[in-house]
């Protein structure tokens, strides 16, 4: 549970917290699970809080008058729309602002940022160049719609997405959390999915994956990944927290995407990395509220 000193950071400054979850994306159920986990931590901290399971009607959000803890995954909660709604009304909220969310929800724009920063990312195109390759929807998360394609016969109908070189390496995820206002890289996590790759079932089934934290990396690998992850985090102007996913192969780390609102379910990656850093869920929640107050 969060320490007394951590609680004092936000106690008295926030009369109430509304945990916003649900939404209309395919990640709705994941969002609700994240929201409930956050709500439980807030109640453990004895912070006045309530859960709002949102159905996508922005008029409903007009009832939010105090701090909003945004736990929406996918559009419109993670694409900047909800953030802009609160910005226009001067309602404080957790996480990155609308401009950052607009970038990170778009995997192609994010990859262009990687290239601009001279950070490795798998080559990509709007049509498959060679096989195997990976098809990814341009927007959305939780690996929904992602599939590995081994031959031309497996290519489906036209979709809003792109094809990426298949990197047959180790799946790594890097979580960053603002601690006392400073972006801090939590222990890097390696994911060993039971399936072919880290798909939706592997992410959210209790035994879908094995998470190893800290990931077995040498000093150079860890140092280079941490530096590059912080560079991305700061360039895109993320706030509060973020998770960066990638693949490591032959000592090279290929950045894949940035998640502006990482999952906070009991099986999610960021809470696992936080525990390896010595932080419980309550500590993470306090740091996110503190970051929101600093905005």
As for how many domains the chain has, the answer is 2
Whole-number Å distance between alpha carbons of 41 and 94: 15
**Of residues 188 and 146, more confidently modeled:** 188
Whether the predicted pLDDT of 2 surpasses 50: no
Are 72 and 188 found together in one domain? yes
Q: At what angle do helices 28-44 and 281-294 cross, to 10 degrees?
A: 90
Question: 10 Å Cβ neighbour count for 183?
Answer: 18
Are 84 and 214 found together in one domain? yes
Are 72 and 107 found together in one domain? yes
Average pLDDT of span 173-178: 98
pLDDT of residue 1: 44
The tens digit of pLDDT for each residue in 206-250 reads 565 788 999 999 999 999 999 999 999 999 999 999 999 999 999
The tens digit of pLDDT for each residue in 27-47 reads 999 999 999 999 999 999 999
Which pTM was predicted? 0.91
User: Residue 161: pLDDT band by 50, 70, 90 thresholds?
Assistant: confident
Are 112 and 129 found together in one domain? no
The tens digit of pLDDT for each residue in 111-147 reads 999 999 999 999 999 888 888 999 998 886 556 678 8
Structural domain for 154, as ranges: 124-165
Are 155 and 248 found together in one domain? no
**Of residues 110 and 145, more confidently modeled:** 110
CATH number where 108 lies:
3.30.470.20
Per-residue tokens: 127: 């049509």
User: Residue 201: pLDDT band by 50, 70, 90 thresholds?
Assistant: low
SS3 295: coil
Are 100 and 137 found together in one domain? no
Percent of the chain with pLDDT over 90: 77
Are 107 and 142 found together in one domain? no
Are 140 and 180 found together in one domain? no
């Amino acid at each position: 549970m969060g320490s007394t000193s951590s609680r004092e950071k936000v106690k008295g400054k926030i009369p109430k917290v509304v945990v916003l979850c649900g939404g209309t994306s395919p990640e709705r159920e994941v969002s609700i699970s994240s929201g409930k986990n956050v709500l439980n931590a807030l109640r453990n901290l004895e912070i006045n809080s309530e859960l709002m399971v949102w159905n996508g009607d922005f008029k409903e959000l007009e009832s939010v008058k105090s701090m909003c803890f945004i736990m929406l995954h996918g559009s419109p909660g993670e694409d900047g729309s909800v953030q802009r709604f609160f910005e226009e009304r001067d309602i404080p909220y957790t996480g990155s602002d609308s401009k950052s969310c607009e970038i990170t929800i778009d995997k192609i724009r994010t990859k262009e940022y990687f290239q601009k920063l001279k950070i490795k990312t798998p080559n990509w195109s709007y049509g498959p160049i060679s096989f195997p390759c990976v098809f990814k929807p341009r927007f959305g998360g939780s690996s929904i719609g992602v599939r590995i394609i081994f031959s031309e016969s497996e290519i489906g109908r036209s979709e809003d997405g792109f094809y990426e070189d298949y990197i047959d390496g180790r799946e790594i995820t890097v979580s960053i959390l603002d601690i006392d206002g400073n972006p801090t890289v939590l222990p890097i996590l390696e994911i060993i999915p039971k399936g072919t790759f880290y798909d939706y079932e592997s992410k959210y089934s209790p035994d879908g994956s094995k998470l190893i934290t800290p990931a077995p990396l040498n000093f150079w690998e860890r140092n280079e990944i941490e530096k590059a992850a912080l560079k991305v985090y700061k360039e895109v102007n993320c706030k509060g927290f973020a998770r960066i996913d990638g693949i490591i192969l032959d000592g090279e780390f290929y950045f894949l995407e940035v998640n502006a609102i990482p999952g906070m379910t009991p099986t999610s990656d960021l809470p696992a990395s936080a525990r390896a850093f010595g932080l419980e869920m309550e500590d993470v929640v306090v740091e996110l509220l503190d970051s929101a107050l600093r905005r």
